[in-house]
Chains A and B, each alone.
Chain A
Amino acid sequence: MTVSVRIPTILRTYTGGAAEVSADGATLAEVIESLEKSYPGIAARVLDDTGKLRRFVNVYVNDDDVRFAEGLATATPDGGNVSVIPAVAGGC
């Protein structure tokens, strides 16, 4: 299962500046593992010490916020898109 992952600006130091990269995995957790193999250190930026998504990271699988789905267990269909976005935006 290969998905395309959109990387936010603050994580592009890990991907050599690439805004979009490919990763493998049937779930979001596996996709993050796959990213870590290709770009060591990136997982610790997205996950906290207990392995959960950091509270100021929003992750979308095919436009759906994974917090409305199964979190890290959310399925990542082949050919799908994953977007990682800082949560501290918007509003006032």
Chain B
Amino acid sequence: MATPTISQTLVPGAFGPAVALSCRECGERYELGPKFACEFCFGPLEVAYEFGTVTREQIAAGPNNIWRYAPLLPVPADVASKPNLNPGFTKLVETRNLGRELGIKNLYVKDDSGNPTHSFKDRVVAIAVEAARNFGFTTLSCSSTGNLAGAVGAAAARAGLRSCVFIPSDLEAGKVVTAAAYGGELVAIEGNYDEVNRFCSELIGDPAGEGWGFVNVNLRPYYGEGSKTLAYEIAEQLGWRLPEQIVIPIASGSQLTKIDKGFRELIKLGLVEDTPYRVFGAQAEGCSPVSAAWKAGHDVIRPVKPDTIAKSLAIGNPADGPYVLDVCKRTGGAVEDVDDVRVVEAIKLLARTEGIFGETAGGVTVGCLKKLVETGQLDPAASTVVLNTGDGLKTLDAIEATTGATATIRPSLESFREAGLA
């Protein structure tokens, strides 16, 4: 996993305000290095910071991408000058029609399909690339349900690194092609995501994986921090205030916990007022281990074997699941799930009401938003943000059976009228 002496060769300031890795379970601290699990309890390692003074003005003067928040991330101060995809600062769309249809007064969609490879994964990979550079890794890798594979391939291409990524062999064609287009190696494994992930964990402990930076394994503590930028952007785009409610999809659960971390940091740094917010998690019914634990009142996640069209969320053994339960409980939120039929309906609902074509994960999140309102769990009078984390063009398979031309007619007015379109 780690070359023990590697951190001794780090350039001062290579990780900006980050000072150590800290175990989220037992608090044990480690030097910054390519480590991801605590040597004592196997708990996840997180980046610990000593922030300097950060002002709204300083942030506003930065570039229109995630590097405007560089003083809050484990990256060097000159990060924006390095070859990177520079993702982020995607649109926060104030909805009119969707909010009205769902009966929610102030509803916003944070549309992360606007990132360079069309999903939020560009945010996390951008941070991981900087860490890979710092640690001297020459190959960038990951286990992926598709979006991450593309983000890693593209970021490696830009950074001049080799990439070799691993995906389950049954992914949507759109995900496979868009990931392969960047020219790195793309390896399909006969198994589900959890099996791919397990393979990567074994590869990393083997000489064959030496010199490899796995963005979501040995670089995971750094990588995960990229999701905090969603929280920073949402708050800044709302005029430096926190939303009262936010609905976030759950795969491993990392994104949800990091958005919460981002909000808390903004409060601590005095960048936003300390106002209460509720965090809601969204899963597909066919892969809902976190939702099942939430509803049963358990604090342990029982892994499941996924069966859902929302393949980007199909992680049956979610690493951050227990922490999702903690965040939702602490903030007064909840975890919900919807079946695949409602996922497809929600993709179409978001598209026809706001002109945003989300991928299946977006369908899960909007579907859960609708269900949370219908079941009275979410307050329709409170300001609410819902995340669309990816682009519908990558998951056309999910809706092509029920979406297509309204009619096929001859090029004549008569034919147009006959089809009942006039």
> Which A residues are closer than 8 A to B by beta carbons?
6, 8-10, 13, 19, 45, 48, 54-58, 60, 65, 67-68, 83, 85-92
Contacts and interface: CB of A to CB of B under 8 A. Distances in A.
Contacts of A57: 42
Given A56-B44, A91-B254, A92-B251, A86 B201 contact: yes
Given A56-B25, A86-B36, A91-B253, A45 B42 contact: yes
Interface in B369-405: none
Of A6, A48, A55, A92, most B-chain CB atoms within 10 Å = A92
B291 to A, nearest CB: 16
Contact of B204 (A9, A58, A60): A9
B224 interface: yes
B245 interface: no
Contact of B41 (A54, A58, A85): A54
A87 B143 contact: no
A65 B216 contact: no
12 contacts: A8-B37, A9-B204, A10-B37, A56-B44, A86-B37, A88-B44, A89-B36, A89-B197, A90-B216, A91-B197, A91-B318, A92-B255
A91 B319 contact: yes
A56 B303 contact: no
Given A91-B216, A92-B227, A92-B252, A8 B201 contact: yes
A61 B41 CA distance: 21
B193 interface: yes
Considering the complex of A and B, which 10 residue pairs feature the smallest CB-CB distances, nearest first? Answer: A91-B252, A86-B37, A90-B197, A9-B1, A88-B44, A56-B42, A89-B217, A9-B205, A85-B201, A91-B251
Contacts of A89: 36-37, 143, 197, 200-201, 214, 216-217, 220, 319
Contacts of B198: 58, 60, 83, 85
A90 B200 contact: yes
Interface in B251-303: 251-255, 300, 302-303
